């Protein structure tokens, strides 16, 4: 019981430090905020802040994890009731934007750092690899629970390509100044049908050489030298990915 109490207190301290950091990043900027300021805002000693987070970068990676958890919580079991591929993909993308809306100002503040390819805050960095794999798994589930027929040349890499598409949507969202980000939602609604059509066209014999070239290019350009996560298994994933 005592150990459980200590664990709970530690988690509360961790969350308090993260909340303080995110507020300072939002109001002062990432580069301008120090770990000492974060510790003061959280009401803990500087050493205690470093105990939970070794750097500001770790705090942002924890923010990414929180945002992904918020996305999954908002998504809930909705995918279990939707079978059409377009509807499943649009649902995941729309709830991704919904879950990120409370952090919009912070996301714009972090964009410069996250856009740096050498930064650990980049979604393509080695430090982001575990969370990137979870996001790719979610896209694999989108495909797995639908009746979408995917050509063999594209099958293994489709979830990662869909994740890259999601990153493009998020990039647009960061710059979207429309009311309630309505243009981002419009972008999703108008491009999702195009994505399904492109996947269908990819099965045609005349297009398959270009698909193989695209997949080969993805293998060559993938920033993580490790092989992509095996999330497909012929897309026999059902509803096993969201935990």
- Nearest Cα neighbor of 67 from 170, 185, 184 is 170
Q: How far are the Cα atoms of 59, 119, 156 from residue 21, in angstroms, in the given order?
A: 7, 18, 38
Q: What is the pLDDT of residue 4?
A: 61
pLDDT beyond 50 at 61: yes
Give Dmax over CA atoms of the chain in angstroms: 66
Q: What is the pLDDT of residue 117?
A: 77
Digit-coded pLDDT (tens) for 11-34: 999 999 999 999 999 899 888 999
Average pLDDT of the residues in 182-207: 89
Q: What proportion of the chain, given as a percentage, has pLDDT over 70? A: 85
Digit-coded pLDDT (tens) for 1-17: 455 666 888 899 999 99
pLDDT band at residue 230 under the 50/70/90 scheme: low
Topology of domain 1-54 in CATH is Arc Repressor Mutant, subunit A (1.10.10)
What contacts 185, CB < 8 A, 6 or more positions away? 94, 97
Q: Record the tokens describing residue 220, joined without a space.
A: 């060559």
pLDDT beyond 80 at 128: yes
Sequence ranges of the domains in the chain: 1-54, 60-243
State the CATH class of domain 60-243: mainly alpha
Entry pTM: 0.82
Query: What are all long-range contacts of 41-50, with beta carbons under 8 Å and residues at least 24 apart?
Result: 42/13, 42/16, 42/17, 43/16, 44/13, 44/16, 44/17, 48/13, 48/17, 49/17
pLDDT band at residue 109 under the 50/70/90 scheme: confident
């Amino acid at each position: 019981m005592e150990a459980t109490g200590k664990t709970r207190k530690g988690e509360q301290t961790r969350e308090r430090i993260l909340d303080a950091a995110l507020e300072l990043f939002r109001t002062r900027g990432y580069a301008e905020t120090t770990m000492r300021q974060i510790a003061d805002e959280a009401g803990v000693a500087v050493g205690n802040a470093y105990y939970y987070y070794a750097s500001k970068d770790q705090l942002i990676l924890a923010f990414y994890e929180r945002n992904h958890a918020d996305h999954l919580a908002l998504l809930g079991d909705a995918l279990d009731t939707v079978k059409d591929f377009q509807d499943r993909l649009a649902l995941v993308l729309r709830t991704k934007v919904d879950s990120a809306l409370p952090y919009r100002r912070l996301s714009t503040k972090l964009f410069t750092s996250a856009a740096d390819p050498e930064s650990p805050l980049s979604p393509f960095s080695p430090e982001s690899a575990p969370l990137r794999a979870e996001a790719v798994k979610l896209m694999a589930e989108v495909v797995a629970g639908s009746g979408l027929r995917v050509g063999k040349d594209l099958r293994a890499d489709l979830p990662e390509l869909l994740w890259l598409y999601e990153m493009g949507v998020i990039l647009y969202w960061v710059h979207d100044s429309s009311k309630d980000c309505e243009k981002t939602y419009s972008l999703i609604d108008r491009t999702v049908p195009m994505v399904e059509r492109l996947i269908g066209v990819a099965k045609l014999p005349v297009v398959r050489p270009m698909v193989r070239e695209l997949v080969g290019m993805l293998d060559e350009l993938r920033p993580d030298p490790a092989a992509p996560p095996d999330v497909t298994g012929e897309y026999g994933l059902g509803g096993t990915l969201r935990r």
